[in-house]
Amino acid sequence: MKTEERADLAAQAIVRRAEERFRAHWMEIATWTDRFFAKLLVGQWLFAIAIALLVSPYAWEGKTRTVHVHVWFAIFLGAAINAFPVALAVRRPGWVVTRHVIAAAQMLWSALLIHLTGGRIETHFHVFGSLGILAFYRDWPVLVTATLMVVADHLIRGLFWPESVYGIASPEWWRFLEHAFWVLFSVVFLAMSCLRALKEMRMMAERGAHIEALSESEWRRSSVLERVEKVSA
């Protein structure tokens, strides 16, 4: 085999090894983040139930006392939001579909918490916090899924139930665009951060692959020299 051919094969082997290292590292990050979100989703469910119980646990109608609808929302709607993403995080961690489902669920939690607190502006910061945590995946399309969920939620609820999202009965029709703009503003920079992180991961994988190749090459040389010395002796 010619020297050029051997060099070409060696280069291809390094590229394959670097890609394998990169994919393995990314899978490790995605798996860890999936499992983290599984715990977070359950924690948010318990938190939402606590909010519903503390803020409006009962409704009074004359002499009849009934559990407030917000409590049922927190318990049953929260459980419905969590069921599929938590199951995927446990059974299929690291799968690309898992993280998109989790992103959608996390944004639904933002919507539910905003509703339970009567559209408080402070609760809207849950959206931005959630986007920051979703950036742990280092996968910018996940942020797109989350953004679309936020915009759809604000648009639909803003049209049919504005008090649950804005806290007022008659907001301007374009109010959802203002919220969408600030979400998009955050997502752009988070996406840039994800791309930068992936680039650094690839560079680390390539360096690791080169170091492994050099180590193997040195090991082969030393083995050959040892055999030659034994034969000479």
C-alpha triplet 18, 21, 27: angle, nearest 5°: 140
The pLDDT score that the predictor gives to residue 127 is 93
Closest CA to 34 of 109, 124, 145, 139: 139
The pLDDT score that the predictor gives to residue 81 is 93
The pLDDT score that the predictor gives to residue 131 is 95
The pLDDT score that the predictor gives to residue 140 is 94
The pLDDT score that the predictor gives to residue 170 is 73
Sequence-distant (≥ 6) Cβ neighbours of residue 121 within 8 angstroms:
167
**CA distance to 39, 49, 150, 158, 207, per residue, from 89 (Å):** 10, 22, 22, 31, 31
How does pLDDT run along the chain (233 residues), one tens digit per residue? 555 555 555 566 667 777 788 888 889 999 999 999 999 999 999 998 888 887 765 544 444 445 567 778 788 888 999 999 999 999 999 999 999 999 999 999 999 998 888 778 888 899 999 999 999 999 999 999 999 999 998 888 877 877 777 767 677 777 778 888 899 999 999 999 999 998 988 888 888 767 766 665 555 555 544 554 555 55
The pLDDT score that the predictor gives to residue 56 is 63
The pLDDT score that the predictor gives to residue 12 is 67
The pLDDT score that the predictor gives to residue 71 is 79
The pLDDT score that the predictor gives to residue 231 is 52
